[in-house]
Structure 1
């Protein structure tokens, strides 16, 4: 009887921790959505249109850009456990990712060791 109670308590504690983690992730996601909505409310119509045009131009520019954006959006939709596996694929295939921002809009450049500029500073 004592072992059963001990296992039961451990199981209940594990279930409570998982439930707490899920609720924290849900609250964090809601906070991020709320922050984005607040920022969108503060943007005037012209700024919103300009930002939308920049994003559309970036997404629709070339076939390789569409594939890259699709890959990035697929990675963003992965559960947290699978994101580390996707990251591992990039690390093991000798691909380096660098994030560059241009003004208010950024994009993800994928560099391999073969197409990297010679004088590129990785720091």
Structure 2
């Protein structure tokens, strides 16, 4: 499977509209349609229902969740390689619904590890698994 096709699939899955997705991706809609059809062929199952409006079906939702996790792991691997090349200076990403309970420990960590980038993301728990 082509990484670019997987990234395009996620946009189509999010928008559930080929023309809008093509516009956001800045690709021709027929090309995007062929990419999605090729991906469905590789997966071996339709990922969208096409009755009337394009809708992500159950197979598509399951596949989307795996693609999001896979692309997240690839991005983490890329970051790890860059961090290793920079001799271990790294970063920490933290997601929480609220940071009120950890402000003290977080400040202590930053004091002890000033060279580490800390990235905070506040979001509902339902969104954390995708992030």
Max radius of gyration: which structure?
1
TM (norm. structure 2) is 0.31
By relative contact order (CA 8 Å, sep 6+), the higher-ranking structure is 2
Choose between structure 1 and 2: higher helix proportion.
1
TM (norm. structure 1) is 0.32
